[in-house]
Amino acid sequence: MLTQVAEGVLVHQSEFCQTNTVVVHGRAGVLLVDPGVREDELACLANDLSDLGQTVVAGFSTHPHWDHLLWHTSLGAAPRYGTARCAAIVRDRLSDAGAKARIAQFMPPDIVEQVPMDLLGLISGLPAGTEQIPWDGPDIRIVEHQAHAPGHAALVIEERGVLIAGDTLSDMLVPLLDFSDSADPIEDYLEALRLIEGASDHVDVVIPGHGSPGAGDQLQARIDQDRAYLQALRDEQVVSDVRVGPSATYDWVAGVHERQLQNLARRRERDGPPG
């Protein structure tokens, strides 16, 4: 089911982790951001689009994690993009014969059989520093930063007042830090929030990669909520955040939060107090 969140911008939500696929109407067809997740959901999306008489003219993956790199034959053969950094990571991670089996190990066992892997990660990197998605539709600004994953990008569609936030600014997931590729994941994430905030002057609707789209004062509220979480981690203060509390949408987020605390503690032990 497609839900309109702004003029010419619709969302198709997966049952897996409330993953949002964003459909943006252009002049000759639609752009899809992060199509996912299960095969039947991708086929449903393709059906909905063909009912609307729309063809897919481009795709974009916000970051190099499997749930944002999916595609389905029924969506056609449009070019699929990501940032240069995102595409380089994907190429690297998919470069050997065992890659897909390895990636499948990261998927929850109850959905692994339902995730179509054939077209996983077939994206082209846009040249480093590209500011707009190349397509025939409203201008879509790429705000690249180093939160959550290397080459992560948020997208701003100013004409439509929409921010597509990738895996930041979720109402049910706390900021998930990238420990693989960052010397200071908390500072990198805080910097990303500053960039996103600075690019969002004309935004009325925020669409996170997972969770509910938010309108009105939700954008600022979510920026403040992510920032407060990160500052508490940085300052080693007690985290009070509804997303890891007793009324959290997903109880496993508290476990992810605990692992982040452990990772940070290990890093502090290794690196000593900040100089």
Decide: is 34 part of the binding site for Zn ion (CB under 5 A). no
178 binds Zn ion per the rule CB under 5 A: no
Residue 189: DSSP 8-state: H
Tell whether residue 41 is a contact of Zn ion (CB under 5 A). Answer: no
Residue 171 binds Zn ion, judged by CB under 5 A: no
Helix (H, G, I), strand (E, B) or coil at 207: strand
For the chain, the helix, strand and coil percentages under 3-state DSSP, each to the nearest 5? 35, 20, 45
CA distance to 110, 147, 162, per residue, from 86 (Å) = 27, 12, 22
Angle at 14 between CA 70 and CA 168, to 5 degrees: 80
**CA angle in degrees (0–180, nearest 5) for 127-26-87:** 25
Annotate each residue in 183-222 with x if it binds Zn ion (CB under 5 A) or - if it does not, as one string.
Answer: --------------------------x-------------
Closest distance between Zn ion and the C-beta of residue 65, in Å? 5
Q: Closer to Zn ion by CB, 26 or 150: give it.
A: 150
Q: Is the dihedral of CA 66, 72, 75, 80 positive or negative?
A: positive
Near Zn ion by CB under 5 A: residue from 41, 144, 167, 226: 167
- Closest approach, Cβ 167 to Zn ion, in A, equals 5
Residues contacting Zn ion: total by CB under 5 A: 3
Positions in 67-96 near Zn ion (CB under 5 A): 67
Q: Which stretch binds Zn ion (CB under 5 A): 64-72, 107-115, 196-204, 222-230?
A: 64-72
Nearer to Zn ion, 83 or 161 (CB): 83
Nearer to Zn ion (CB atom), residue 16 or residue 57? 16
Which are the contacts of 69, defined by CB distance < 8 A and separation ≥ 6?
61, 90, 120, 121, 123
**Residues of this chain that bind Zn ion (CB under 5 A):** 67, 167, 209
